[in-house]
Amino acid sequence: MKSYDGRVNAVDGISLDIAKGEFLTLLGPSGSGKTTTLMMIAGFEEPTSGVIELGGEDLTRRKPYERNIGVVFQNYALFPHMTVERNVAFPLRMRRFPRARQAERVREILELVGLTPFATKHPRELSGGQQQRVALARGLVFNPDVLLLDEPLGALDKNLREQMQVELKRIHREVGITMVYVTHDQTEAMTMSDRIAVFSHGTLEQTAPPLEVYHRPRTRFVGEFIGDSNFFTGRVHSGAPRVELDRLGPVQADAEACRRLAGAAADVLLRPERLQLVPEGATLPNRLAVKIGVIVNYGDSVLIIGDAGGQIVRIRMAGAPPDEVREGATVTFGWRPGDEHLIARSS
């Protein structure tokens, strides 16, 4: 737990077990507690209560430099007057790494991050992506037990950010180091992580692999925050695999989920890509008549935003839509039982 004023908890009741060699992403909106949690692991913030352990060793009261933990910040924090190789060597000098091995170790890590040709350059002579690689090399060079990354790609443009995501995954795979990564970018979290820990208002909503967080969110907040979503409210039937949706009527649903939530009020999550156009004669049991308001073309897919029973519905279709799917038209879309996900509504 962490409180700055003794009244409001910035982080409240967080419990995380991180496996050796894992890539764990702390994901959440601004102010959700993810960066505070990272800073407590690093030693820059002290928990109000609770402990931080690494390999069974209590680090809670240790200074940052007493922990074998690397940190990479969003703003790079490079020394402008030092060359790339001197920036990278700095943690080795501070830790009194054997002088005879320093140059060799710097060469190894610069090769890993693809910066060997830039060893004698200064930060001002590098692009944003190259500067971020220097910061990454500096965080890895002293062989830390854990590498913490605080929104390290936030200042990069979209293409460069995607390139660096691939690079980070490659480096993680090659080095095998434990990485804890903070971001508010869902795509980053989904593409890079072994597991995602979703934060909201200082609490942990769910910790699970990316596809589980996406397809089986534990709470409505997680379902809405991760990816695009349609949420309907309703009540699960007590004697059949069916949900009575508010304003939309009964639909068939996953039998196991209905048994688990029999008689309960539920939020029904239906991802936009699960809805499909219902051609004449098709037998899809669950159907919605959608009046199309807007069609957004992404090139490889389209996002359709329409109205069904007074509720906004989002549908994603691969490729170009057929002629009957046009703005202003009313079109039938459907889904199979089990394509939805049921979440018990909190009282």
SS3 264: coil
* pLDDT attached to residue 158: 87
CA nearest neighbour of 189 among 227, 144, 228: 227
Distance CA 89, CA 84 (A): 9
Residue 96 pLDDT > 90, yes or no? no
Cα 81 to Cα 123: distance, rounded to the nearest angstrom: 8
Cα angle 112, 142, 84; round to 5: 55
pLDDT digits (tens, 9 = 90+) for 330-339: 999 999 999 9
Work out the mean pLDDT of the chain and round it to a whole number.
94
d(CA 255, CA 316): 26
Question: Which single residue is written with the structure tokens 């910790």?
Answer: 207
Q: What is the pLDDT of residues 250-259, one digit of tens each?
A: 999 999 999 9
3-state secondary structure of 200: strand
Can you tell me the distance from the alpha carbon of 4 to that of 2, in angstroms, rounded to the nearest whole number? Answer: 7
∠ CA 254-288-310, rounded to 5°: 115
Residues paired with residue 343 on neighbouring β-strands, in sequence order:
267
Q: Is 39 helix (H, G, I), strand (E, B) or coil?
A: helix
pLDDT band at 122 (very low <50, low <70, confident <90, very high): very high
Tell me how far the alpha carbon of residue 134 is from its chain's centroid: 24
Q: What is the pLDDT of residues 191-233, one digit of tens each?
A: 999 999 999 999 999 999 999 999 999 999 999 999 999 999 9
pLDDT number for residue 60 = 95
Dump strand ranges (E) for 110-160: 146-150
Q: How confident is the model at residue 281 (pLDDT cuts 50, 70, 90)?
A: confident
Contact between 340 and 253 (Cβ < 8 Å) = yes
pLDDT tens-digit map of 7-48: 889 999 899 999 999 999 999 999 999 999 999 999 999 999
Residue 5: pLDDT over 90: no
Whether the predicted pLDDT of 347 surpasses 80: no
Percent of the chain whose pLDDT exceeds 70: 100
What is the rounded (10 degree) CA torsion for 225, 226, 228, 230? Answer: -70
Domains in the chain: ranges and CATH: 2-220 (3.40.50.300), 228-344 (2.40.50.140)
